[in-house]
Amino acid sequence: MVANINGAPVRIRDIGFAEDGTKEQRSIARLNGVPTVTLEIRRQTGTNTVEVIEAAKANLARIAGQLPPMSRWKLFATNRVHLCRMHEITLHLVLGVFWVAVVLAFMRSWRSTIIAAIAIPASTIATFGMMRALNFTLNSVTMLALC
């Protein structure tokens, strides 16, 4: 029995089938040269990747006592990638301020400096605003740029 809906049991045979057997191996996972079993957790569309990874780590720590002692758990998380992206965004904002200062230093024009200081964040905000309005993600925009 898988579930109980309105007092009626839902069994595996009602929604599909289960078979005790082997399947052709299409991939292999090894940890330090030893065959292993992997569990991949993927986030749903619209969820925050870093929050999903942190929740997975917390749940893994919570159930660690229930796992066999010979189990080795290694969590390969992509939150470092996302944190690096956030760092890069911050870096680019700082570089934007630097280049605005360069415009002031070389052109000696407050008007040009103010235009550059307004244009950089305005174009960024407008770009992300249009991406949100058109339901684009950074991944889809990147893929569009590759075409």
Q: Model confidence over 93-146: pLDDT tens digits?
A: 888 888 888 888 888 888 888 887 888 788 888 988 988 898 888 778 777 777
What is d(CA 36, CA 88) in angstroms, rounded to the nearest whole number? 35
pLDDT for residue 83 is more than 80: no
Residues 6+ apart with CB under 8 A from 51: none
**pLDDT band, very low/low/confident/very high, at 86 (cuts 50, 70, 90):** confident
Which position has the token pair 């660690």?
Answer: 64
> Per the confidence metrics, is the pTM higher than 0.85?
no
End-to-end CA distance of the chain: 48
Contact between residue 100 and residue 120 where contact means Cβ atoms under 8 Å apart: yes
Q: What is the pLDDT, as a whole number, of residue 64?
A: 76
**pLDDT band, very low/low/confident/very high, at 18 (cuts 50, 70, 90):** confident
